[in-house]
Amino acid sequence: MTTSPQPLVKGFHDDKTGSIQYVVACPNTKKAAIIDPVWDFDEKAARTCTVNADELLQYVKDNSLDVEWILDTHPHADHFSAAPYLKDKLGAPTAIGEHVVKVQKLWKTIYNLGDDFPADGSQWDRLFADGDTFKIGDLEAKVMFSPGHTLASITYVIGDAAFVHDTLMMPDSGTSRADFPGGSAKDLYRSLERILALPDDTRIYVGHDYGRGGRKPRWESTVREERETNIHLRGNVSEAEYVRIRESRDDELELPHLMLYALQVNIRGGRLPDAEDNEVSYLRIPMNQFAGPSKVCPM
Ligand SMILES: [Fe+2]
């Protein structure tokens, strides 16, 4: 009897945003996928660069990998996606969850974008639906719709590894926030239940880690470890209790530093708005549209 191979997983932590980018490779064929690559952004100078993405390219080259997919789990609020840059370098197709169209429509309204912004998912090569499957060499990959953090979030289950993005965090850090536009603590709880129903030994790879309590950043756990020790989920917490914990925690959080920059780039699949007639691209910031626990401007 032949068993399907298990993926080789390499995580790359971006210290600035706490994001983890992954290269997932088939040990038999050296085919690979990149998940959630970061396009660096210095907001003070409004300058982008490709330090993180170039590190991924170097790893791909050093290991003679053949990248077949460039995947995002959701439109991120804390960093820009490097998917188009990597597509340009590697020629591989980009993909995200099909409900990204809802996120595009939502943010198209917030940014008051015109009809020249297509909110139809055409910025990606493939839009995945819940239950879709694809191959990375000999690896079997399956898409699991897992909303709550955003309307469009998906988990990639590749062999015995689940790339759960902003749902679970490491057990000592709990779970991800659910208070962005389109977020829902109730939906997040149901997504967490689906993820925790995967086999106990499934390797969990999280989307962010901030080195809680000064420890080094970590990004790998297991379904069993999360179920038994995650600070937001242990003890079979009920949906109602989880929603109460999540929402009261979210009420204390500032919005992500780069959210209003990042969403307008990420709803374009990781691209800046078209340059204007002086060949410069501009971002838009909607004023007085969001509240936060700010001491400067309390609501
Ligand atoms: Fe996120």
- pLDDT, tens digit, 9 for 90 and up, residues 176-185: 999 999 999 9
Q: Separation of 19 CA from ligand 1 center, angstroms?
A: 9
CA of 36 to the centre of ligand 1 (A): 10
Residue 114 has pLDDT above 90, yes or no: yes
64 Cα–ligand 1 center, Å:
30
Distance 1 CA to ligand 1 centre (A): 40
Q: Kindly list the distances between the CA atom of residue 104 and the CA atoms of 25, 120, 131, 190, 282, in Å, as whole numbers in the listed order.
A: 31, 8, 22, 23, 18
pLDDT at position 196: 97
Residue % of the chain over a pLDDT of 70: 97
Mean pLDDT of 57-78: 98
- What's CA 63's distance to the chain center, in Å? 24
How far, in Å, from the CA of 291 to the mean position of ligand 1? 19
For the chain, which domains are there? 8-259 (3.60.15.10)
- Closest to 189 measured CA to CA, from 131, 152, 236: 236
Q: How confident is the model at residue 293 (pLDDT cuts 50, 70, 90)?
A: low
The CB density around residue 164, as the number of other CB atoms within 10 Å, is 31
Q: What is the mean pLDDT of residues 83-112?
A: 98
Instruction: Calculate the dihedral angle through the C-alpha atoms of 29, 154, 286, 52, rounding to the nearest 10 degrees.
Output: -30
112 Cα–ligand 1 center, Å: 22
Mean pLDDT over the full length of the chain: 95
Centroid of ligand 1 to alpha carbon of 22 (angstroms): 15
Q: How far is the CA of 75 from the centre of ligand 1 (A)?
A: 7
pLDDT, average across residues 150-157: 97
Stretch 135-153: mean pLDDT: 97
What residues pack around ion ligand 1 (CB closer than 5 A)? 76, 166
Residue 294 has pLDDT above 70, yes or no: no
**CA–CA distance from 260 to each of 36, 68, 76, 149, 179 (Å)?**
19, 31, 11, 16, 14
| Over residues 239-250, mean pLDDT | 94
Contact 37, 102 (CB under 8 A): no
| Predicted local distance difference test score (pLDDT) of residue 63 | 98
Instruction: Give the model's confidence band at 280: pLDDT under 50 very low, under 70 low, under 90 confident, else very high.
Output: very high
